[in-house]
Structure 1
Amino acid sequence: MGSIDLTREGDIAVVTINNPGKRNAMTDDMWRQMPAVMGEIDGDASILATVLTGAAGAFCAGADISGLDELHHTERPSNAENAIAASPKPVIAAIEGSCFGGGVQMAVACDLRVAGASATFSTPPARLGIVYPVSATQRMLHIMGVAATKEMLYTAVRYDAQRALAVGLLNRVVDDGSALETALEMARGMGELSQLTIHASKEIVDGLTRRDLSAETAIAWVGRANDGPDLAEGIAAFQERRAPRFTWRPE
Protein backbone atom coordinates (compact mmCIF):
# COMPACT_ATOMS: atom_id res chain seq x y z
CA MET A 1 0.00 0.00 0.00
CA GLY A 2 2.93 2.34 0.59
CA SER A 3 3.79 4.52 3.55
CA ILE A 4 5.71 7.58 4.68
CA ASP A 5 8.11 6.33 7.35
CA LEU A 6 9.74 8.46 10.03
CA THR A 7 12.96 7.39 11.72
CA ARG A 8 15.79 9.23 13.45
CA GLU A 9 19.54 9.51 13.18
CA GLY A 10 20.35 11.33 16.40
CA ASP A 11 18.84 14.81 16.08
CA ILE A 12 18.06 14.32 12.38
CA ALA A 13 14.67 13.10 11.16
CA VAL A 14 14.73 10.73 8.19
CA VAL A 15 11.50 10.64 6.20
CA THR A 16 11.36 7.72 3.76
CA ILE A 17 8.93 7.47 0.85
CA ASN A 18 8.22 3.74 0.97
CA ASN A 19 6.43 2.05 -1.92
CA PRO A 20 9.31 0.16 -3.57
CA GLY A 21 7.13 -2.07 -5.73
CA LYS A 22 6.15 1.04 -7.69
CA ARG A 23 9.45 2.96 -7.39
CA ASN A 24 7.93 4.82 -4.42
CA ALA A 25 5.02 6.26 -6.38
CA MET A 26 2.77 8.23 -4.05
CA THR A 27 -0.64 6.77 -3.28
CA ASP A 28 -3.53 8.87 -2.04
CA ASP A 29 -2.88 7.68 1.51
CA MET A 30 0.82 8.53 1.27
CA TRP A 31 -0.01 12.09 0.19
CA ARG A 32 -2.26 12.27 3.25
CA GLN A 33 0.49 10.99 5.55
CA MET A 34 3.18 13.50 4.56
CA PRO A 35 1.73 16.60 6.29
CA ALA A 36 1.16 14.61 9.48
CA VAL A 37 4.75 13.34 9.49
CA MET A 38 6.13 16.83 8.84
CA GLY A 39 3.91 18.20 11.62
CA GLU A 40 5.36 15.66 14.03
CA ILE A 41 8.89 16.75 13.08
CA ASP A 42 8.07 20.44 13.39
CA GLY A 43 6.65 19.88 16.87
CA ASP A 44 9.72 18.04 18.17
CA ALA A 45 12.29 20.54 19.46
CA SER A 46 14.98 17.83 19.63
CA ILE A 47 14.98 17.46 15.83
CA LEU A 48 17.28 19.95 14.12
CA ALA A 49 16.97 18.94 10.45
CA THR A 50 15.14 16.56 8.14
CA VAL A 51 16.32 14.32 5.31
CA LEU A 52 13.70 13.21 2.78
CA THR A 53 14.58 10.09 0.82
CA GLY A 54 13.08 7.07 -0.93
CA ALA A 55 13.28 3.35 -0.25
CA ALA A 56 15.15 0.75 -2.29
CA GLY A 57 17.23 2.94 -4.57
CA ALA A 58 14.56 5.27 -5.93
CA PHE A 59 13.28 8.62 -4.72
CA CYS A 60 9.73 8.86 -6.10
CA ALA A 61 8.28 8.00 -9.51
CA GLY A 62 5.43 10.49 -9.00
CA ALA A 63 1.81 9.84 -8.21
CA ASP A 64 0.53 6.26 -8.36
CA ILE A 65 -1.10 6.19 -11.80
CA SER A 66 -3.97 4.03 -10.51
CA GLY A 67 -5.19 6.97 -8.44
CA LEU A 68 -4.14 9.76 -10.77
CA ASP A 69 -7.65 10.77 -11.88
CA GLU A 70 -8.78 11.22 -8.27
CA LEU A 71 -5.58 12.99 -7.24
CA HIS A 72 -5.84 15.43 -10.15
CA HIS A 73 -8.94 16.85 -8.47
CA THR A 74 -7.56 17.14 -4.94
CA GLU A 75 -5.13 19.36 -3.07
CA ARG A 76 -3.38 16.51 -1.30
CA PRO A 77 -0.12 16.58 -3.34
CA SER A 78 0.13 20.34 -2.89
CA ASN A 79 -0.64 19.97 0.82
CA ALA A 80 2.25 17.51 1.11
CA GLU A 81 4.56 19.81 -0.85
CA ASN A 82 3.64 22.82 1.26
CA ALA A 83 4.10 20.90 4.52
CA ILE A 84 7.67 20.09 3.48
CA ALA A 85 8.39 23.66 2.41
CA ALA A 86 6.81 25.20 5.51
CA SER A 87 8.97 23.32 8.00
CA PRO A 88 11.05 25.87 9.95
CA LYS A 89 13.89 23.35 10.00
CA PRO A 90 16.22 22.60 7.08
CA VAL A 91 14.97 19.81 4.80
CA ILE A 92 17.42 18.02 2.50
CA ALA A 93 16.31 15.69 -0.30
CA ALA A 94 18.52 12.63 -0.79
CA ILE A 95 17.70 11.40 -4.28
CA GLU A 96 18.60 8.12 -5.96
CA GLY A 97 17.08 6.73 -9.14
CA SER A 98 13.78 8.11 -10.40
CA CYS A 99 12.50 11.54 -9.37
CA PHE A 100 9.46 12.19 -11.55
CA GLY A 101 6.33 14.32 -11.34
CA GLY A 102 5.25 14.35 -7.71
CA GLY A 103 8.80 13.40 -6.76
CA VAL A 104 10.09 16.62 -8.29
CA GLN A 105 7.23 18.43 -6.57
CA MET A 106 8.45 17.22 -3.16
CA ALA A 107 12.14 17.67 -4.02
CA VAL A 108 11.75 21.35 -4.94
CA ALA A 109 9.93 21.90 -1.64
CA CYS A 110 13.13 20.91 0.17
CA ASP A 111 15.84 23.44 0.97
CA LEU A 112 18.70 21.44 -0.55
CA ARG A 113 18.90 18.49 -2.95
CA VAL A 114 21.63 15.83 -3.22
CA ALA A 115 21.47 13.12 -5.86
CA GLY A 116 23.31 10.00 -6.92
CA ALA A 117 25.05 10.17 -10.29
CA SER A 118 22.44 7.97 -12.02
CA ALA A 119 19.39 9.86 -10.75
CA THR A 120 16.93 11.12 -13.38
CA PHE A 121 14.38 13.93 -13.20
CA SER A 122 11.22 14.60 -15.17
CA THR A 123 7.90 16.42 -14.95
CA PRO A 124 5.62 14.51 -17.37
CA PRO A 125 2.18 16.21 -17.07
CA ALA A 126 2.24 17.02 -20.81
CA ARG A 127 2.18 13.25 -21.47
CA LEU A 128 -0.94 12.95 -19.32
CA GLY A 129 -2.89 16.08 -20.18
CA ILE A 130 -2.85 17.49 -16.66
CA VAL A 131 -1.67 20.82 -15.26
CA TYR A 132 1.36 20.70 -12.97
CA PRO A 133 0.67 22.31 -9.56
CA VAL A 134 1.19 26.06 -9.56
CA SER A 135 3.05 25.97 -6.24
CA ALA A 136 5.59 23.44 -7.55
CA THR A 137 5.94 25.34 -10.83
CA GLN A 138 6.73 28.50 -8.91
CA ARG A 139 9.37 26.70 -6.86
CA MET A 140 10.92 25.31 -10.04
CA LEU A 141 11.06 28.84 -11.47
CA HIS A 142 12.81 30.18 -8.38
CA ILE A 143 15.30 27.31 -8.34
CA MET A 144 16.01 26.68 -12.03
CA GLY A 145 14.80 29.78 -13.86
CA VAL A 146 12.34 30.17 -16.71
CA ALA A 147 14.18 28.32 -19.48
CA ALA A 148 14.75 25.03 -17.66
CA THR A 149 11.28 25.08 -16.10
CA LYS A 150 9.62 25.56 -19.48
CA GLU A 151 11.78 22.86 -21.04
CA MET A 152 10.81 20.32 -18.38
CA LEU A 153 7.10 21.18 -18.52
CA TYR A 154 6.76 21.65 -22.30
CA THR A 155 8.79 18.62 -23.42
CA ALA A 156 8.61 16.14 -20.51
CA VAL A 157 12.36 15.75 -21.04
CA ARG A 158 14.36 13.64 -18.60
CA TYR A 159 17.32 15.40 -17.02
CA ASP A 160 20.24 13.35 -15.82
CA ALA A 161 21.94 14.36 -12.59
CA GLN A 162 24.61 16.48 -14.27
CA ARG A 163 22.03 18.43 -16.26
CA ALA A 164 19.95 18.90 -13.10
CA LEU A 165 23.06 20.20 -11.33
CA ALA A 166 23.84 22.57 -14.20
CA VAL A 167 20.38 24.21 -14.11
CA GLY A 168 20.41 24.54 -10.32
CA LEU A 169 17.90 21.82 -9.47
CA LEU A 170 20.59 20.01 -7.48
CA ASN A 171 23.15 21.26 -4.96
CA ARG A 172 25.41 18.22 -5.24
CA VAL A 173 25.87 15.08 -7.31
CA VAL A 174 27.54 12.18 -5.50
CA ASP A 175 28.34 8.54 -6.18
CA ASP A 176 25.34 6.28 -6.59
CA GLY A 177 24.15 4.95 -3.26
CA SER A 178 25.71 7.74 -1.21
CA ALA A 179 23.06 10.48 -1.46
CA LEU A 180 21.49 9.60 1.89
CA GLU A 181 24.77 9.55 3.79
CA THR A 182 25.87 12.80 2.14
CA ALA A 183 22.59 14.44 3.12
CA LEU A 184 22.98 13.17 6.68
CA GLU A 185 26.51 14.56 6.82
CA MET A 186 25.21 17.94 5.66
CA ALA A 187 22.47 17.83 8.30
CA ARG A 188 24.97 16.90 11.02
CA GLY A 189 27.14 19.83 10.01
CA MET A 190 24.15 22.16 10.26
CA GLY A 191 23.46 20.79 13.72
CA GLU A 192 26.83 22.13 14.91
CA LEU A 193 26.05 25.66 13.72
CA SER A 194 23.78 28.34 15.13
CA GLN A 195 20.19 27.18 14.86
CA LEU A 196 19.09 30.79 15.27
CA THR A 197 21.02 31.78 12.15
CA ILE A 198 19.67 28.79 10.21
CA HIS A 199 16.03 29.39 11.21
CA ALA A 200 16.35 33.11 10.52
CA SER A 201 18.00 32.47 7.17
CA LYS A 202 15.28 30.04 6.09
CA GLU A 203 12.45 32.42 6.95
CA ILE A 204 14.22 35.40 5.38
CA VAL A 205 15.31 33.62 2.18
CA ASP A 206 11.86 32.09 1.68
CA GLY A 207 10.21 35.45 2.35
CA LEU A 208 12.47 37.21 -0.13
CA THR A 209 11.80 34.49 -2.71
CA ARG A 210 8.04 34.89 -2.27
CA ARG A 211 8.46 38.69 -2.10
CA ASP A 212 6.43 38.85 1.09
CA LEU A 213 9.16 39.33 3.70
CA SER A 214 8.17 42.07 6.11
CA ALA A 215 10.65 44.44 7.70
CA GLU A 216 9.22 43.43 11.08
CA THR A 217 10.19 39.79 10.50
CA ALA A 218 13.79 40.66 9.68
CA ILE A 219 14.04 43.11 12.59
CA ALA A 220 12.62 40.51 14.97
CA TRP A 221 15.30 37.99 14.00
CA VAL A 222 18.04 40.58 14.51
CA GLY A 223 16.58 41.27 17.94
CA ARG A 224 16.54 37.57 18.82
CA ALA A 225 20.17 37.32 17.78
CA ASN A 226 21.20 40.33 19.86
CA ASP A 227 19.33 39.06 22.92
CA GLY A 228 20.12 35.37 22.54
CA PRO A 229 23.11 33.24 23.55
CA ASP A 230 24.54 32.35 20.14
CA LEU A 231 26.00 35.74 19.17
CA ALA A 232 28.06 36.03 22.36
CA GLU A 233 29.14 32.40 22.08
CA GLY A 234 30.16 32.82 18.44
CA ILE A 235 32.28 35.87 19.23
CA ALA A 236 33.86 34.20 22.27
CA ALA A 237 34.66 31.03 20.32
CA PHE A 238 36.25 33.06 17.53
CA GLN A 239 38.39 35.03 19.99
CA GLU A 240 39.39 31.89 21.88
CA ARG A 241 40.05 29.94 18.66
CA ARG A 242 37.75 27.06 19.57
CA ALA A 243 34.65 25.46 18.13
CA PRO A 244 31.48 27.28 19.21
CA ARG A 245 28.87 25.56 21.38
CA PHE A 246 25.61 27.08 20.27
CA THR A 247 22.58 26.56 22.51
CA TRP A 248 19.69 28.57 21.00
CA ARG A 249 16.60 26.55 20.20
CA PRO A 250 13.21 27.76 18.97
CA GLU A 251 10.49 28.16 21.57
Structure 2
Amino acid sequence: MAIINTQLQDNIGTITFNNPEHRNVLSKELINETLQSIGALQKGKMRVLIIRALKGSKVWSAGHDVHELPMPGRDPLSYHDPLVTVLRSIQSLPIPVIAMIEGSVWGGACDLALSCDIQIGCQTSSFCMTPAKIGVPYNVTGILHFMNIMGVNVAKEMFFTAQPLSAERAYQSGLLNHLVDVDDLENFTYDLAASITKNSPLSIGVIKEQIRLLASAHPLNPVTFERVQGLRRTVYDSKDYAEGIKAFLEKRTPHFSGD
Protein backbone atom coordinates (compact mmCIF):
# COMPACT_ATOMS: atom_id res chain seq x y z
CA MET A 1 0.00 0.00 0.00
CA ALA A 2 1.27 3.47 -0.91
CA ILE A 3 2.18 5.60 2.07
CA ILE A 4 1.49 8.78 0.07
CA ASN A 5 -1.80 9.65 -1.64
CA THR A 6 -1.67 12.18 -4.48
CA GLN A 7 -4.44 14.21 -6.10
CA LEU A 8 -4.66 17.09 -8.57
CA GLN A 9 -7.97 18.90 -8.91
CA ASP A 10 -8.78 22.46 -10.00
CA ASN A 11 -5.05 23.28 -10.19
CA ILE A 12 -4.63 22.29 -6.52
CA GLY A 13 -2.28 19.41 -5.81
CA THR A 14 -2.61 17.40 -2.62
CA ILE A 15 -0.07 15.11 -0.99
CA THR A 16 -1.57 13.13 1.88
CA PHE A 17 0.58 11.18 4.32
CA ASN A 18 -0.98 7.72 4.54
CA ASN A 19 1.12 5.81 7.05
CA PRO A 20 -0.76 6.26 10.36
CA GLU A 21 0.50 2.94 11.77
CA HIS A 22 3.99 4.47 11.85
CA ARG A 23 2.73 7.99 12.66
CA ASN A 24 3.69 9.24 9.20
CA VAL A 25 7.35 9.11 10.19
CA LEU A 26 9.63 10.82 7.67
CA SER A 27 11.39 7.66 6.54
CA LYS A 28 13.43 7.49 3.34
CA GLU A 29 10.50 5.66 1.75
CA LEU A 30 7.94 8.33 2.62
CA ILE A 31 10.28 11.14 1.60
CA ASN A 32 11.10 9.48 -1.73
CA GLU A 33 7.39 9.02 -2.45
CA THR A 34 6.80 12.67 -1.54
CA LEU A 35 9.53 13.85 -3.92
CA GLN A 36 8.19 11.62 -6.69
CA SER A 37 4.67 12.93 -6.09
CA ILE A 38 5.85 16.53 -6.27
CA GLY A 39 7.56 15.78 -9.58
CA ALA A 40 4.44 14.11 -10.98
CA LEU A 41 2.15 16.94 -9.85
CA GLN A 42 4.43 19.54 -11.42
CA LYS A 43 3.81 17.95 -14.81
CA GLY A 44 0.14 18.93 -14.45
CA LYS A 45 -1.26 22.43 -14.11
CA MET A 46 -0.67 22.64 -10.37
CA ARG A 47 -0.64 26.17 -8.96
CA VAL A 48 -0.85 25.33 -5.25
CA LEU A 49 0.27 22.28 -3.27
CA ILE A 50 -1.32 21.15 0.00
CA ILE A 51 0.51 18.74 2.30
CA ARG A 52 -1.68 17.01 4.86
CA ALA A 53 -2.36 13.84 6.82
CA LEU A 54 -5.49 11.70 6.65
CA LYS A 55 -8.61 13.33 8.06
CA GLY A 56 -8.88 12.63 11.79
CA SER A 57 -5.15 11.95 12.23
CA LYS A 58 -3.77 12.30 15.74
CA VAL A 59 -0.24 12.71 14.37
CA TRP A 60 0.50 14.82 11.28
CA SER A 61 4.03 13.40 11.29
CA ALA A 62 6.38 12.04 13.96
CA GLY A 63 9.40 13.51 12.21
CA HIS A 64 12.74 11.94 11.35
CA ASP A 65 12.85 8.14 11.45
CA VAL A 66 15.27 7.55 14.35
CA HIS A 67 15.92 4.02 13.07
CA GLU A 68 17.57 5.61 10.03
CA LEU A 69 19.83 8.04 11.90
CA PRO A 70 23.55 7.26 11.46
CA MET A 71 25.61 6.07 14.39
CA PRO A 72 28.17 8.40 16.06
CA GLY A 73 30.78 9.90 13.77
CA ARG A 74 28.43 10.93 10.96
CA ASP A 75 26.37 14.09 10.62
CA PRO A 76 22.70 13.09 11.06
CA LEU A 77 21.47 16.09 9.06
CA SER A 78 23.97 16.51 6.25
CA TYR A 79 23.25 18.34 2.99
CA HIS A 80 22.19 15.14 1.19
CA ASP A 81 20.10 13.70 4.03
CA PRO A 82 16.62 12.78 2.65
CA LEU A 83 14.85 15.10 5.11
CA VAL A 84 17.08 18.05 4.23
CA THR A 85 16.56 17.27 0.53
CA VAL A 86 12.76 17.34 0.74
CA LEU A 87 12.85 20.60 2.74
CA ARG A 88 14.91 22.24 -0.03
CA SER A 89 12.53 20.88 -2.65
CA ILE A 90 9.47 22.39 -0.95
CA GLN A 91 11.18 25.71 -0.29
CA SER A 92 12.31 26.02 -3.92
CA LEU A 93 9.02 25.01 -5.56
CA PRO A 94 7.82 27.96 -7.69
CA ILE A 95 4.29 27.61 -6.30
CA PRO A 96 2.82 28.17 -2.82
CA VAL A 97 2.83 25.13 -0.54
CA ILE A 98 0.27 24.95 2.27
CA ALA A 99 0.67 22.73 5.33
CA MET A 100 -2.79 21.62 6.50
CA ILE A 101 -2.04 20.44 10.02
CA GLU A 102 -4.31 18.15 11.99
CA GLY A 103 -2.64 16.38 14.91
CA SER A 104 0.78 16.65 16.49
CA VAL A 105 3.98 17.52 14.65
CA TRP A 106 7.32 16.27 16.00
CA GLY A 107 10.98 16.96 15.34
CA GLY A 108 11.97 17.29 11.71
CA ALA A 109 8.30 17.33 10.72
CA CYS A 110 8.10 20.78 12.37
CA ASP A 111 10.78 21.90 9.93
CA LEU A 112 8.83 20.31 7.09
CA ALA A 113 5.64 22.14 8.10
CA LEU A 114 7.51 25.45 8.46
CA SER A 115 9.19 24.93 5.08
CA CYS A 116 5.75 25.30 3.56
CA ASP A 117 4.67 28.84 2.73
CA ILE A 118 1.41 28.87 4.70
CA GLN A 119 0.51 26.85 7.80
CA ILE A 120 -3.13 26.21 8.74
CA GLY A 121 -3.89 24.33 11.96
CA CYS A 122 -6.74 23.37 14.27
CA GLN A 123 -7.25 22.68 17.98
CA THR A 124 -5.50 19.29 17.74
CA SER A 125 -2.34 20.79 16.23
CA SER A 126 0.79 20.91 18.36
CA PHE A 127 4.49 21.29 17.63
CA CYS A 128 7.34 19.59 19.49
CA MET A 129 11.00 20.04 18.55
CA THR A 130 12.68 16.86 19.86
CA PRO A 131 16.40 16.73 18.85
CA ALA A 132 17.59 17.34 22.44
CA LYS A 133 15.57 14.31 23.60
CA ILE A 134 17.83 12.02 21.59
CA GLY A 135 21.01 14.08 21.55
CA VAL A 136 20.87 15.23 17.92
CA PRO A 137 22.64 18.49 16.92
CA TYR A 138 20.19 20.29 14.67
CA ASN A 139 21.67 21.81 11.52
CA VAL A 140 22.39 25.48 10.83
CA THR A 141 19.73 26.07 8.17
CA GLY A 142 17.06 24.43 10.32
CA ILE A 143 17.81 26.54 13.40
CA LEU A 144 17.94 29.72 11.31
CA HIS A 145 14.60 28.75 9.79
CA PHE A 146 12.96 28.58 13.23
CA MET A 147 14.58 31.84 14.33
CA ASN A 148 13.29 33.67 11.24
CA ILE A 149 9.72 32.51 11.78
CA MET A 150 9.15 32.61 15.54
CA GLY A 151 12.00 34.66 16.92
CA VAL A 152 15.02 33.68 18.97
CA ASN A 153 13.44 33.21 22.40
CA VAL A 154 10.55 30.98 21.33
CA ALA A 155 12.95 28.94 19.19
CA LYS A 156 15.23 28.47 22.20
CA GLU A 157 12.34 27.31 24.36
CA MET A 158 11.18 24.80 21.75
CA PHE A 159 14.66 23.31 21.28
CA PHE A 160 15.69 23.40 24.96
CA THR A 161 12.53 21.97 26.53
CA ALA A 162 11.43 19.58 23.76
CA GLN A 163 7.91 20.21 25.08
CA PRO A 164 4.88 20.57 22.78
CA LEU A 165 3.71 24.01 21.74
CA SER A 166 -0.10 24.12 21.74
CA ALA A 167 -2.08 25.24 18.71
CA GLU A 168 -2.92 28.54 20.45
CA ARG A 169 0.71 29.25 21.36
CA ALA A 170 1.83 28.25 17.86
CA TYR A 171 -0.63 30.75 16.39
CA GLN A 172 0.52 33.49 18.77
CA SER A 173 4.17 32.75 17.96
CA GLY A 174 3.69 32.93 14.20
CA LEU A 175 4.03 29.22 13.48
CA LEU A 176 0.44 29.12 12.21
CA ASN A 177 -1.05 31.60 9.76
CA HIS A 178 -4.55 30.48 10.69
CA LEU A 179 -6.07 28.52 13.57
CA VAL A 180 -9.52 27.19 12.67
CA ASP A 181 -12.01 24.69 14.03
CA VAL A 182 -11.11 21.10 13.11
CA ASP A 183 -14.44 20.68 11.31
CA ASP A 184 -13.65 23.70 9.13
CA LEU A 185 -9.99 22.87 8.49
CA GLU A 186 -10.39 21.18 5.11
CA ASN A 187 -12.85 23.66 3.61
CA PHE A 188 -10.88 26.66 4.88
CA THR A 189 -7.61 25.32 3.48
CA TYR A 190 -8.96 24.46 0.04
CA ASP A 191 -10.86 27.76 -0.20
CA LEU A 192 -7.60 29.61 0.53
CA ALA A 193 -5.78 27.50 -2.06
CA ALA A 194 -8.51 28.21 -4.62
CA SER A 195 -8.12 31.95 -4.07
CA ILE A 196 -4.40 31.65 -4.83
CA THR A 197 -5.04 29.83 -8.12
CA LYS A 198 -6.84 32.93 -9.44
CA ASN A 199 -3.66 35.04 -9.22
CA SER A 200 -0.66 35.22 -11.53
CA PRO A 201 1.48 32.07 -11.09
CA LEU A 202 4.52 33.81 -12.59
CA SER A 203 4.24 36.73 -10.17
CA ILE A 204 3.74 34.40 -7.18
CA GLY A 205 6.69 32.20 -8.17
CA VAL A 206 9.04 35.18 -8.48
CA ILE A 207 7.84 36.73 -5.20
CA LYS A 208 8.26 33.41 -3.37
CA GLU A 209 11.84 33.07 -4.60
CA GLN A 210 12.63 36.67 -3.65
CA ILE A 211 11.32 36.09 -0.12
CA ARG A 212 13.32 32.84 0.16
CA LEU A 213 16.54 34.55 -0.89
CA LEU A 214 16.02 37.56 1.36
CA ALA A 215 15.08 35.41 4.38
CA SER A 216 18.31 33.43 4.01
CA ALA A 217 20.55 36.46 3.48
CA HIS A 218 22.53 35.99 6.68
CA PRO A 219 26.20 35.76 5.67
CA LEU A 220 28.58 33.86 7.96
CA ASN A 221 32.31 34.34 7.74
CA PRO A 222 34.31 31.12 7.22
CA VAL A 223 35.62 31.03 10.80
CA THR A 224 32.12 31.27 12.27
CA PHE A 225 30.78 28.58 9.94
CA GLU A 226 33.65 26.23 10.80
CA ARG A 227 33.05 26.85 14.52
CA VAL A 228 29.35 26.00 14.15
CA GLN A 229 30.20 22.80 12.29
CA GLY A 230 32.76 21.95 14.96
CA LEU A 231 30.20 22.48 17.70
CA ARG A 232 27.76 20.16 15.96
CA ARG A 233 30.43 17.51 15.54
CA THR A 234 31.09 17.40 19.29
CA VAL A 235 27.47 16.22 19.61
CA TYR A 236 27.27 13.58 16.90
CA ASP A 237 30.65 12.18 17.97
CA SER A 238 29.52 12.01 21.60
CA LYS A 239 28.42 9.24 23.97
CA ASP A 240 25.18 11.19 24.50
CA TYR A 241 24.28 10.86 20.81
CA ALA A 242 24.84 7.09 20.91
CA GLU A 243 22.88 6.84 24.18
CA GLY A 244 19.98 8.86 22.78
CA ILE A 245 19.54 6.58 19.77
CA LYS A 246 20.03 3.43 21.83
CA ALA A 247 17.48 4.55 24.44
CA PHE A 248 14.93 5.38 21.76
CA LEU A 249 15.30 1.98 20.12
CA GLU A 250 15.07 0.28 23.53
CA LYS A 251 12.02 2.40 24.42
CA ARG A 252 13.48 3.78 27.64
CA THR A 253 14.47 7.16 29.04
CA PRO A 254 18.01 8.12 27.98
CA HIS A 255 20.67 8.76 30.62
CA PHE A 256 22.71 11.68 29.32
CA SER A 257 26.11 12.39 30.89
CA GLY A 258 27.17 15.40 28.82
CA ASP A 259 30.08 13.45 27.31
How far off is 1:142 after superposition?
A: 1.2
Contact 1:78–1:133 under 8 Å retained in 2: no
What residue in structure 1 maps to residue 76 of structure 2? 72
Distance in 1 separating the partners of 2:15 and 2:77: 26
Deviations 1:49-73 (A, max 9, x none): 0001112423111123433447936
Residues 169-197 of structure 1, C-alpha deviations (whole Å, 9 max, x = no match): 11000112433332211110011122233
CA distance in 1, matches of 2:2, 2:135: 26
Query: RMSD over aligned Cα, in angstroms?
Result: 2.1
Please report the TM-score for the alignment, with normalisation by the length of structure 1.
0.77
Provide the residue aligned with 1:14 in structure 2. 14
Moved more, 90-99 or 31-40: 31-40
Letter in 1 for 2:41: I
Q: Which runs of 5+ in 1 are unaligned?
A: 213-251
- Structure 2: gaps spanning 5 or more residues: 219-259
Structure 1 residue 31 displacement after superposition: 2.0
Per-residue deviation, 1:210:
1.6
Give the alignment partner of residue 123 of structure 2, picking from 106, 117, 120. Answer: 117
- 2:200 is matched with which residue: 181, 194, 203? 194
Alpha-carbon contact 1:100-1:121 (below 8 Å) kept: yes
Question: In 2, Cα distance between the equivalents of 1:134 and 1:141?
Answer: 11
1:237 alignment partner in structure 2: none
- The verdict on how the C-alpha distance between 1:50 and 1:163 changes in structure 2, with shifts beyond 3 A counting, is same
1:159 counterpart = 2:158: no
Q: Is contact 1:23-1:98 (8 Å) kept?
A: no
Deviation string, structure 1 residues 137-171 (Cα, Å, up to 9, x no partner): 22111111111111111111210011001111110
Counterpart mapping for 1:170-185 below 5 A: 170-185=176-191
Distance 1:165 1:49 in 2: 22
Alignment partners' CA distance in 2, 1:203 and 1:28:
27
Task: Read off the aligned partner of 2:125 and give its amino acid letter.
Answer: A
Q: Matched residue of 2:179: which SS?
A: strand
2:90 is paired with a residue whose SS is: helix
Contact 2:77 2:138 in 1 (8 A): no
Contact 2:49–2:98 at 8 Å: present in 1 too?
A: yes
CA distance in 2 between partners of 1:151 and 1:2 (Å): 36
Match of 1:50 in 2: 49
Letter in 2 for 1:113: Q
Query: TM-score by structure 2 length?
Result: 0.75
Give the letter for the 1:26 counterpart. L
| Percent of paired sites with the same residue | 28
Q: CA deviation digits over 1:192-251, x for unaligned, max 9? A: 122233122212211211228xxxxxxxxxxxxxxxxxxxxxxxxxxxxxxxxxxxxxxx
Amino acid at match of 1:47: M
Q: Which residue of 2 aligns with 1:61?
A: 62
Count of aligned pairs between the two proteins = 211
Residue of 124, 135, 141 corresponding to 2:147: 141
Are 2:53 and 2:60, in contact at CA under 8 Å, matched by a contact in 1?
yes
Q: Which residue does 1:33 correspond to in 2?
A: 33
Equivalent position of 2:240 in the other structure: none
In 2 relative to 1, CA 59–141 (structure 1 residues): closer, same or farther, beyond 3 Å?
A: same
**Per-residue deviation, 1:28:** 2.0
Counterpart of 2:148 in structure 1: which amino acid?
Answer: H
Contact 2:92-2:209 within 8 A present in 1 as well: no
